[in-house]
Amino acid sequence: MARPKSEDKRIALLQAATVAIAQAGISASTASIARSAGVAEGTLFRYFATKDDLLNALYIWLKHDLGSIILQQVDFEAASPKQQLNSVWDNYIDWEITHPLANACMRHLAVSGKITQETEQQVANMFPELDRLCESRIRPIFREPPLRAFGDGLFLALAETTIDFAIREPQRAPVFKETGFETMWRALTNADNPA
Amino acid sequence: MARPKSEDKRIALLQAATVAIAQAGISASTASIARSAGVAEGTLFRYFATKDDLLNALYIWLKHDLGSIILQQVDFEAASPKQQLNSVWDNYIDWEITHPLANACMRHLAVSGKITQETEQQVANMFPELDRLCESRIRPIFREPPLRAFGDGLFLALAETTIDFAIREPQRAPVFKETGFETMWRALTNADNPA
Amino acid sequence: MARPKSEDKRIALLQAATVAIAQAGISASTASIARSAGVAEGTLFRYFATKDDLLNALYIWLKHDLGSIILQQVDFEAASPKQQLNSVWDNYIDWEITHPLANACMRHLAVSGKITQETEQQVANMFPELDRLCESRIRPIFREPPLRAFGDGLFLALAETTIDFAIREPQRAPVFKETGFETMWRALTNADNPA
Amino acid sequence: MARPKSEDKRIALLQAATVAIAQAGISASTASIARSAGVAEGTLFRYFATKDDLLNALYIWLKHDLGSIILQQVDFEAASPKQQLNSVWDNYIDWEITHPLANACMRHLAVSGKITQETEQQVANMFPELDRLCESRIRPIFREPPLRAFGDGLFLALAETTIDFAIREPQRAPVFKETGFETMWRALTNADNPA
DNA sequence: AATGAATGAGGCTTCATTCAT
DNA sequence: AATGAATGAAGCCTCATTCAT
């Protein structure tokens, strides 16, 4: 098979890279990543041909992890659409709070200029059902092509800001979560049809 | 006093750094910055003792430029508070659209981990009148200490997302600007007192 | 275990450093050392993490070389204590005469301020039997703690001066060696018990 | 006159260089020396065309200072030759103890490889009366050309070692001074004619 | 005469990647 | 498949010296 020998080592490398990049930015050296993954310097390059390849694989891996956790915990039985969206919101933020290194790492990757268009595309198509769920709760103007991406962007911006504050002051996380959600709700949904 | 240290060269270095960092991130080399500023590499270090010093000075310089332009163009005669805030919003976004490199550079600096607390402080205290103007238009819950910083963060997040989209698709900038502002207004102000 | 780190290269680096530092002082560049050792500059830093590390390792290496040669050639069968000490003296000076670069290098290292306490300690404990042999021949006042180190210092000072002259005028080395030894004998031993 | 304007500045530069080199070795930068002398970077080069020139001038200046102090305090009325030499010995060592920076600086200069033959010559001829005084007290073998320089070297070596210990443990200086002198006396003078 | 801004070569060190083992 | 030694380009910064002011 094309995949190299040990999936364990691949995961170990991705995890080590997450920690290293969270702490040192993308300038974290491949040597340090390999070392904390418990493999030799050269081995890293058998799993990822290039440092940039590692960065892109890592981005996808983290996004996938995040998305699948959110999805698997959404409360589809929730009474109202608002409650359903609130469940997504909370899961999203909870995951980031419990994975602050992953969060920091993704931020670094996102602004690194190393993530290719192709990678971004792959991530965008990763969980169509999640996108659909969010969009259906959103005010009409943000639902159609011309402003759809913009709506997504605003949603993410609010969520990420909420996460920043929640990570920085964990004991106040519930307040930030709730206030953030209500703010997003006012911002992006049809206020006339609140629930 | 011999040749005085040239303000022109300082500016040239800051401008060169802005471009280089916008394109290459903070890993832009001091050599490349000096070269495109038209001075020797050693000269750079007479103006900024350290690359980190340059980064901090650059951050302050860009923020100051941005803030002073916004402030000087705010329409204090505007009929309503909403219109006043809209004027700030538009000026902010217009500046960023017309200075996409400065914008990109500031993003890189902000996440670089090289900006010191002291620099952040200096920037925070730079335009108190601007802060006051924005805050007075904001809903009460975001005006008092426990959530003030959070409110600022959400405001900035929405503005920056709007800027991102406006820079990426300049011809649609007016739509993003307006939609973004209305979204922010719903999100952060007291809807009961809409104008 | 891949290629093992080559002891040959380590030695080549230490030898190259000896020559370079003998000639240029500790300001000899790592580039020049690596070049004359026949390796890439980066390689030097796989063997010695830091230039200072190289300097300390070199100091230990040279002292060890010197000490072990002296020790292995001491004439323990010599009739009198004076003759035994004379054998040490001669071996010491002969080594330095035949290794003038090593000698010059050690002088530079000794005054460089880069040799750590730990390194000095390690060197001091390197050949206890040699110390013991010298001390037992020395006059009582220099044998006990308060002045022991001082006695060692004076011994070394006389030896090093003798070496300086012997290296500078090799053909007169025997005279310097003998005169130096007799001078040291008068200076540091119990004249009442001359042989 | 050929001498530049201010003798004060020349002295200030020499003093500043003494301190800087004592602490940092000859790699002390000309900029730092100029700064602590209270003059501009460029000014240093109006007094000393080159860093090497400064180093040589400094060596001569320090040696002259040392020699003239010793000479002016020698007790020519002392009863015995031994007492006269003891007076030189004590003055020498006292000067170094009270000028530890000058001492450290001279050591650095002496091994720097930057002191020219010409400078060494000039220093050697600086105080012929002092040389004569010391030599006349010395055992015959060290008085005639073949071994005269060697005798001087041994004398200096013992003195400098004594100084090292006296500077390192100032409260025990008197013991080192006396023991050192007696050792030198045994080593270099005619024991048969002790006083 | 004095200043200090400007220079650019050179120093130490890091790092992604290759390749012998 | 895995290792880690080897590489050399590139990065940041220092410094003696020059020269415009």
Mean pLDDT across D179-191: 86
Return the pLDDT at A9. Answer: 95
Contacting residues of C for D165, CB less than 8 Å apart: 149-150, 153
User: Structure pTM?
Assistant: 0.91
* Count of all residues that appear for chain B in the document: 195
At D179 the pLDDT is: 94
pLDDT of residue C29: 98
pLDDT band at D193 (very low <50, low <70, confident <90, very high): very low
Of the candidate ranges B87-96, C165-174, C177-186, D181-190, the one whose mean pLDDT is the lowest: D181-190
What are the residues whose beta carbons fall under 8 Å from the beta carbon of D159, sequence distance 6 or more? D89, D92, D93, D180, D184
Instruction: Examine the pLDDT at D194 and tell me if it is beyond 50.
Output: no
- What is the predicted pLDDT for the residue at D115? 96
Whether the pLDDT of residue B126 is over 50: the answer is yes
Q: Which residue has the higher pLDDT, D46 or B194?
A: D46
Residue-level pLDDT at C77: 76
pLDDT in tens, B140-154: 778 777 888 899 899
Considering only residues 19-48 of protein chain B, which place a Cβ less than 7 A from any atom of strand E? 39-43, 45-47
Distance from CA of C7 to the nearest CA of D (A): 32
Name the neighbours of A, counting chains with at least 3 Cβ pairs within 8 A: B
Average pLDDT of the residues in A159-163: 96
> Of A154, A56, A159, A152, which is closest to residue A113 (Cα–Cα)?
A56
Residue A156 and residue A141: Cα distance in Å, rounded?
A: 17
Please compute the mean of the pLDDT values over residues C4-17 and round it to a whole number: 94
Chains D and A touch each other (3 or more Cβ pairs < 8 A): no
For the stretch A10-25, pLDDT in tens is 999 999 999 999 999 9
Identify the CA nearest to D173 among candidates D184, D160, D185, D164: D164
Q: Does the structure show a pLDDT above 90 at A101? A: yes
Task: Tell whether the torsion through CA atoms of D146, D149, D151 and D157 is positive or negative.
Answer: negative
State the Cα–Cα distance between residues A16 and A24, nearest whole angstrom: 12
pLDDT level of residue A190 (50, 70, 90 thresholds): low
D2 pLDDT tier (thresholds 50, 70, 90): very low
- Residue-wise pLDDT tens digits, D92-112: 999 999 999 999 999 999 999
Most D CBs within 10 A among C138, C141, C154, C163, hence the mutation to make, goes to C154
- pLDDT at residue C193 tops 50: no
d(CA C142, CA C157): 15
Bigger pLDDT: B174 vs D189: B174
Could you give the CA distance from residue D157 to residue D169 in angstroms, rounded to a whole number?
18
pLDDT at B93: 94
- Among D99, D105, D109, smallest CA distance to D20 is for D105
Q: Does C153 touch chain D (CB under 8 A)?
A: yes
Two tokens, residue D5: 């304007």
Least confident segment among B160-164, C150-154, C175-179, D186-190: D186-190
Considering CB atoms only, which of D27, D111, D165 is closest to C108? D111
Instruction: Out of C27, C149, C165, name the one closest to residue D153 (CB).
Output: C165
Asked which of B79-83, B97-101, B105-109, C37-41 is least confident by mean pLDDT, the reply is B79-83
Q: Cβ contact (<8 Å) for C111 and D113?
A: no
Highest mean pLDDT among A67-76, C180-189, D79-88: C180-189
With cut-offs at 50, 70 and 90, classify the pLDDT of residue D75: confident
- Angstrom distance (rounded) from CA A162 to CA A155: 11
Under 8 Å between Cβ of D88 and D134? yes
Place of tokens 């010391």: D134
Q: A1-15, A89-103, C152-166: which range is least confident on average?
A: A1-15
User: Is pLDDT of C120 > 70?
Assistant: yes
Rounded to whole angstroms, the distance from the CA of residue C128 to the C1' of nucleotide E9 is: 48
Whole-number average pLDDT of chain B: 90
Task: Round the CA-based radius of gyration of chain C to a whole number and report it.
Answer: 19
Looking at chain C, the whole-number percentage of residues with pLDDT higher than 90 is: 68
Res C191: pLDDT: 56
C182-188 mean pLDDT = 90
- For B71-75, what is the mean pLDDT? 82
C108 interface with D at CB cutoff 8 Å: yes
Angstrom distance (rounded) from CA D69 to CA D67:
5
Contact status of A180 with chain B (Cβ, < 8 Å): yes
Question: Given CB atoms, is D115 within the 8 Å cutoff of chain C?
Answer: no
For the cut 70, the answer to whether the pLDDT of residue D142 exceeds it is yes
Residue B95 pLDDT: 94
Return the axis-axis angle of helices D173-188 and D81-98, rounded to nearest 10°: 140
List pLDDT tens digits, range C18-54. 999 999 999 999 999 999 999 999 999 999 999 999 9
| pLDDT of res. D3 | 52
Is the shortest CB-to-strand distance from C8 to strand F under 7 Å? no
**Phi and psi based region of residue C74 (left: phi greater than 0; alpha: psi -120 to 50; beta: remaining):** beta
